[in-house]
Amino acid sequence: MDDKSKRGKDRYAVIGWPLGHSMSPLIHNASFDALEINDRFIALPLSPSEFEPFMESLPSSNLRGLAITIPYKTEVLNYCSERASEVKAIGAANTISVGEDGGLVAYNTDAGAAGRALKEAGVELRDEKVVVLGAGGAARAICFQLLWQKAGAVTIANRTLSRAESLSEGLQQAFSDADVTAIPLNNDALAEALETARIIVNTTSLGMYPYVDECPVDTGLLKSGMVVFDIIYNPVETKLLRAAREKGSKALPGTDMLVYQAAEQERIWLGVDAPINMMRKALLKELSKAS
Ligand code: ATR
In the chain, the amino acid numbered 103 is G
CA quadruple 72, 271, 203, 252: dihedral, nearest 10? -160
239 in Cβ contact with 267 (< 8 Å):
no
Residue 140 alpha carbon, nearest atom of ligand 1: 4
Residue 1's pLDDT is 43
Catalytic residue list contains 129: no
Q: Angle, nearest 10°, between helix axes 276-290 and 255-270?
A: 140
Which residues of the chain have a pLDDT value below 50?
Answer: 1-2, 4
**Residue 96 DSSP label:** E
Query: How many whole angstroms from 120 Cα to the centroid of ligand 1?
Result: 27
Q: Is 275 helix (H, G, I), strand (E, B) or coil?
A: coil
pTM for this entry:
0.95
**Residue 126 DSSP label:** B
108 in Cβ contact with 122 (< 8 Å):
no
Calpha distance 71→262 (Å, rounded)? 18
Residue 290's pLDDT is 66
Residue 8's pLDDT is 73
Which residue of 145, 159, 161, 162 sits with most ligand 1 atoms within 8 Å of its CB, as the best mutation to test the pocket? Answer: 159
112 in Cβ contact with 131 (< 8 Å):
no
- Residues of 213-233 as b/e, b for ≥16 C-beta within 10 angstroms? eebbbeeebbeeebbbbbbbb
Average model confidence (pLDDT) across the chain: 96
Which residues, at least 6 apart from 289, have a Cβ–Cβ distance to it below 8 Å? Answer: none
Which residue of 205, 238, 258 sits with most ligand 1 atoms within 8 Å of its CB, as the best mutation to test the pocket? Answer: 205
Calpha distance 235→233 (Å, rounded)? 5
Residue 6's pLDDT is 55
Q: Is 203 helix (H, G, I), strand (E, B) or coil?
A: coil
82 in Cβ contact with 99 (< 8 Å):
no
Q: Which entry of 73, 129, 239, 250 is annotated as an active-site residue?
A: 73
Q: Is 109 helix (H, G, I), strand (E, B) or coil?
A: helix
